[in-house]
Amino acid sequence: MFEEIRILGVKLHNVNFNHTIEAIDGFIRKRDRQNLIVTLGTEMVMKAQSDEVFKNIVNNASLVCADGVGLLWAAKKYGYHVKEKVAGVELLERLVELSGRKKWKLFFFGAAPGTAQEAKIQLLKKYPDANIVGEYHGFFEDDSEVKTMLRQTSPDILFLALGSPKQELWYIENAGELDIPVGIGVGGSLDVMSGKVDRAPGWMIKLGLEWFYRLYKEPSRWKRMMALPKFAIKILLTAKKAQKTPNAEKNN
Ligand code: UDP
């Protein structure tokens, strides 16, 4: 369907924002399987280096898009031009906007208690015909309650904001039983949508400095962010080889 690239052995599709929306529309229409959409970040690629289960989940996902300039840069080093960054938070907002007209049922799952509900309130102010059929927080001991809600509401798109890799694992483990055609891991997007955490200013996003803004706002993220320089070094070390033999990375 879409061109497939491997970044350090992890799958990435060469898609732009509109392709992603069209593919999701197609998955809902077809309803023939459960489709995990991964919004891939550099930290996730690094996580996959030591976590084979997570790596397989990403590599078997229906669609993997680049959620960050780090991935676009890495692809370029390998000689590919990935069309566009597809950020989870932007994807969520666009799908919410379309949900009324398309009659898609959406469910928000994750973040601290009250956050998903607040995100829903804020989004409904902006998109009054949005079709958000339910929400549930992400700090549960037992997931039977959320499963019951998902059975009752039978959403078309489940937004999972549990952090990675928890969100991708949960969808893969449960989507078949619950029959949800699309699951999208959106990380901290509900925090942003609820207004709890603000997004970097537009000019910073354009310059690819969103990571810096997040670090400034949440200094406790520094440890996680150590994955970034490690990622860059690994890419630079492998780029020459990957460029000479374009298929080499595909077999990783
Ligand atoms: N979270 C959750 N359950 C957990 C751990 C985390 O619902 O057990 C939520 C957390 O509140 C936050 C989101 O998952 O809203 C992850 O945010 P993070 O910034 O780590 O994700 P990223 O955008 O970096 O993937």
Count of alpha carbons within 13 Å of 119, Cβ hemisphere only? 32
CA of 117 from ligand 1 middle (Å) equals: 15
**Cis amide linkage into residue 181, ω under 30° from 0:** no
From ligand 1's centre to the CA of 165, what distance in Å? 10
Distance CA 188, CA 88 (A): 9
Residue 251 has pLDDT above 60, yes or no: no
Residue 247: pLDDT above 70?
no
Contact 5, 80 (CB under 8 A): yes
pLDDT in tens, 32-43: 999 999 999 999
Q: What backbone torsions phi and psi does residue 134 show, to the nearest 5 degrees? A: 180, 165
CB of 110 sitting under 6 A from ligand 1: yes
Q: How far apart are CA 77 and CA 236, in angstroms?
A: 7
Both tokens of residue 71? Answer: 């991935």
Handedness of CA 194, 39, 131, 94 (dihedral sign): positive
Q: In the prediction, which pLDDT does 243 show?
A: 66
User: What is the CA(103)–ligand 1 centre distance, in A?
Assistant: 28
Dist. CA 45–CA 155, nearest whole Å: 29
Residue whose Cα lies nearest atom 19 of ligand 1: it is 188
Among 37, 54, 58, 191, the mutation site with the greatest number of ligand 1 atoms within 8 A of its Cβ is 191
Q: For residue 65, what pLDDT band results from cuts at 50, 70 and 90?
A: very high
Q: Are 137 and 162 in contact (CB under 8 A)?
A: no
138 lines ligand 1 (CB under 6 A): yes
Question: Token pair for residue 90?
Answer: 């932007």
pLDDT tens figures, 79-100 = 999 989 999 999 999 999 999 9
Say if CB 88 and CB 67 are below 8 A apart. Answer: yes
Whether 39 lines ligand 1, by a CB cut-off of 6 Å, is no
